[in-house]
Amino acid sequence: MFNFGFLNRNHYEYIFTLLCLGAFSLISNAQASRPVKANEIAFVATDLINGTFQFKYERLIGDHFSVNLGLGYKGTQGLVNLSGLDTEKIKTSDITYSGIKIIPEGRYYLNNIRQTGMIGFYFGAYVKYSGFDSDLDGTYINDAGTSYKVEFDAKISVTSVGLMVGYKLPIYKRFAIDFLIAGPGAGFYNFSIENKKDLPDEFYDDFNEALEKYSIFDLLDGDFRFSDVKRKSDLRLPSFRYSISLTYTF
């Protein structure tokens, strides 16, 4: 074991000051050696958590303004999984989904980015569209004990609008890390399901009851219901964005 008993408070303050000065020096050098370019591409590292590969392109259009477009594809795999329905009557496999998302943004930088490049604090607004396909497979047992196979194809589309704040930190010449700190907004969700198997009418009552027990559906209003004749539903929910991206300017 290491013994740091010989260090007193003054030593720690001195070391902390040196670290801060070193970090400030690195950032200053990165800014000084960073060429001012009008274009930037980025890879969103945090989207890998849910199996999404997203790239972004940003273009300088004014002293403080830029526009940004993100394109992403989500596969069925990811570190975060949604568990399936598991009730006495309905049991399904885990819920997976795949699809695309498109995110245009407008940004306002506090810096004059024609002089410093697209770095520093920024504010902005965004629109986010996501379109996903999903399968829901499982079994249903009615009150009489009859077993049915459940096989649904589902489509989910989400349009979100909101505001955002972030900071882009230069790290080396043309490279920077973009921290999207907060992006609160409102999301408009549309769901549609297609039943590929014959199911009794009472299935939908039990299905809606099972959805009510699913944690994410605690937020839904009473109009969110499926039936044999109503296989589409929509709702509005709060949305939130955050991300960390690695950027390269050119």
Q: Which domain holds residue 4?
A: 1-33
* In the block, residue with structure tokens 């009730």: 87
Query: According to the model, what pLDDT value does residue 4 have?
Result: 47
Instruction: Report CA-CA distances (Å) from 231 to 58, 187, 224.
Output: 39, 20, 10
Q: Is the confidence at residue 207, as pLDDT, over 70?
A: yes
The span from the CA of 92 to the CA of 7, in Å, is: 59
Residues 104 and 10 in one domain: no
Say if residue 164 is in the same domain as residue 134.
yes
pLDDT at residue 96 is higher than 90: no
Whether residues 12 and 125 share a domain: the answer is no
Whole-number CA gyration radius for the chain? 25
Residues 18 and 49 placed together within one structural domain of the fold: no
CATH of the domain at 114: 2.40.160
Q: Binning pLDDT at 50, 70 and 90, where does residue 222 land? A: very low
In angstroms, the CA 86 to CA 83 distance is 9
Residues 91 and 8 in one domain: no
Residue 1 has pLDDT above 50, yes or no: no
- For residue 19, what are the contacts with CB-CB under 8 A and spacing of at least 6? none
pLDDT band (50, 70, 90) for residue 19: low
What is the number of other CB atoms lying within 10 angstroms of the CB of residue 20?
Answer: 10
Mean predicted confidence (pLDDT) in 58-75 = 97
Per-residue pLDDT, 46? 95
Same domain? 112 vs 4: no
Q: Taking residues 118-133, what's their average pLDDT?
A: 96
Do 11 and 133 lie in a common domain? no
If asked whether residues 79 and 183 sit together in one domain, one would say yes
pTM comes to 0.75
**Shared-domain flag, residues 12 and 41:** no
Residue 169 has pLDDT above 60, yes or no: yes
Number of domains forming the structure of the chain: 2
pLDDT > 50? residue 2:
no
Q: Are residues 153 and 220 in the same domain?
A: yes
- The verdict on 27 and 51 lying in the same domain is no
Residues 44 and 19 in one domain: no
Please give the average per-residue pLDDT across 61-83, as a whole number.
89
